[in-house]
Structure 1
Amino acid sequence: MAPDDSALVRVLSYNIRSMRDDTDALARIIRACAPDLVLIQEAPRFFRWRKKLARLARAADLVVLTGGATAAGPAILCDLRTTVERTEDILLPLTPGQHRRGFATAVVRIGGARLGVLSCHLSLRKDERYEQGGMLLDRLAGMGVEHAVAGGDLNEGPDGRTFRRLSDNLQDCWAAAPWGGEHTWTHTEPPRRIDAIFATKGVEVLRCGVPQDVPGTELRAATDHLPVLAALRIPAS
């Protein structure tokens, strides 16, 4: 039997609210999830933003791969077993009067696998959000990789038009292998799942959900979103 060169990869997606809350709790949560890749939304974007993001990465035993202010908020952190091929931060078209949006993207190698990675934070406006969902799919298709993962704050739930557009073309990892909690936004009644991780069809989703072994007091102190953690098996490339 030929050796299995696939890679087991843990991906965390997390809106960190510009590190305005308890950054020590935030770092402890990320570290407890033991991720290989962290797809950040609302990374610091203003005064000394690079130092703040680097400090968080260091406290979580990770390094900054790309993103931050240069992607209008999305960023990617990674562990030391990740080899970076290339990165690109992309600013999306600006709608007057709205917040600038962007993608943090990279192509990496982990073990025998080659993987495209994208972190996003989509618009609050439905029509603009739908267009950005299409741009996300186009971006993944243009990365020149067989396997890819995208994660972020979609600002809508699974019944939304943009969420459905993504899940029609990619695997919604929580729906593929639910594990742990579902809802990532608990400030409404009922709570909602507006943060998600998606993977291309060739990726095996082992499990995905809001981690349940992190104390709720830590989660509430760290930021206003809950993290999403996916365990994936990436075929060798």
Structure 2
Amino acid sequence: MNDAAGAHRVRIASYNVRGLKDDHAAVVDVIRAIAPDVLLLQEVPRHPLSGHRIANFADELGLTWFGGARFRMSTTLMTDLRLDVLDARHGKLPTRRFDEPRGFGMATVRLPGHRPFVACSVHLSLRETDRMPETEAVLAAIGSADAVVGGDLNEEATGTAWRRLAGRLPEVSERAPSYSAANPHKQIDVVFASSGLTGQTPRLDLEPALLAAATDHLPVVVDLDVSSLAE
């Protein structure tokens, strides 16, 4: 990417890290190699005392984690100091009683010299009938803002939640299997973005063995062109 294009580039990565239960050094190496500006995470540790562990993880990655109440959910995001974070929060998604809490991590970020956009990490239910209400809640939280949404949808591109998100925010990640890392055979992880924001998949030299050791999902990485937001 040339210097002019790089001035408008924001690298987005979405990654399900399976509770950091696998090879910790491997997942750190993968994310450092990606060097994201925005890291959309799913399945970070969610027990009540895990905040310090996530903060330490962010320090290892050289990223900033905004912390705050997570409502026992496992979805969050981190950012590079290259971006300004104007506000950030975690929000709840509708879940059935006794089900694992689900929610989203959301931040309004700005590349200097550009207007802000919303970045949102999601992890939808394993239950098909629950994914549409969760999706509507995410879209309501975003509103009319320019936005990037990425995460583990637990369904493929033919699913109703996927198609609903794509109707509001076109896909910017490539169509490629994301699960499992050891045997990629289906795509359930994706990044969407507002129509004025276009994406290109960078070519990263990541060894398959390293990716398989890190977690059970492959990361989804997009270089987002935010030149439409330039001031």
Pairwise same-fold verdict (TM > 0.5): yes
Q: What is the aligned partner in structure 2 of residue 208 from structure 1?
A: 201
Inter-CA distance 133–67: structure 2 relative to 1 (3 Å threshold): farther
Asked whether the equivalents of residues 57 and 77 of structure 1 are also in contact (C-alpha less than 8 Å), the reply is: yes
User: Which residue among 181, 196, 199 is the counterpart of 2:193?
Assistant: 199
* Correspondence 1:26-175 to 2 at 5 A: 26-46=27-47, 48-66=49-67, 69-70=70-71, 72-113=73-114, 114-141=116-143, 145=145, 147-174=146-173
Q: In structure 2, what is the Cα distance between the partners aligned to 1:55 and 1:11?
A: 21
DSSP-derived class of the 1:58 partner: helix
User: Which residue among 202, 221, 231 is the counterpart of 2:213?
Assistant: 221
Q: In structure 1, what is the Cα distance between the partners aligned to 2:53 and 2:60?
A: 11
Inter-CA distance 77–71: structure 2 relative to 1 (3 Å threshold): farther
Q: In structure 2, what is the Cα distance between the partners aligned to 1:222 and 1:49?
A: 19
Which runs of 5 or more residues in structure 2 are unaligned?
A: none
Asked whether the equivalents of residues 34 and 204 of structure 2 are also in contact (C-alpha less than 8 Å), the reply is: no
Asked whether the equivalents of residues 48 and 72 of structure 2 are also in contact (C-alpha less than 8 Å), the reply is: no
Q: State the TM-score, normalizing by the size of structure 2.
A: 0.89
**What root-mean-square deviation, in Å, do the aligned CA atoms of Structure 1 and Structure 2 show?**
2.4
Structure (1/2) with the larger strand percentage? 1
TM-fit CA distance, 1:6: 6.7
TM-fit CA distance, 1:171: 1.1
Q: How many residues align?
A: 225
DSSP-derived class of the 2:201 partner: strand
Asked whether the equivalents of residues 55 and 67 of structure 2 are also in contact (C-alpha less than 8 Å), the reply is: no
* Correspondence 1:170-189 to 2 at 5 A: 170-174=169-173, 178=174, 182-186=176-180
Q: In structure 2, what is the Cα distance between the partners aligned to 1:85 and 1:224?
A: 32
Q: In structure 2, what is the Cα distance between the partners aligned to 1:36 and 1:95?
A: 34
TM-fit CA distance, 1:23: 1.2
Q: In structure 1, what is the Cα distance between the partners aligned to 2:100 and 2:133?
A: 15
Inter-CA distance 152–66: structure 2 relative to 1 (3 Å threshold): farther
Q: Amino acid of the residue matched to residue 170 of structure 2?
A: Q
Inter-CA distance 136–6: structure 2 relative to 1 (3 Å threshold): farther
Which runs of 5 or more residues in structure 1 are unaligned?
A: none
Q: In structure 2, what is the Cα distance between the partners aligned to 1:187 and 1:6?
A: 32
Q: Which range is displaced more, 218-227 or 95-104?
A: 95-104
Q: State the TM-score, normalizing by the size of structure 1.
A: 0.87
Q: Percent identity?
A: 34
Q: In structure 2, what is the Cα distance between the partners aligned to 1:189 and 1:139?
A: 35
TM-fit CA distance, 1:50: 1.3
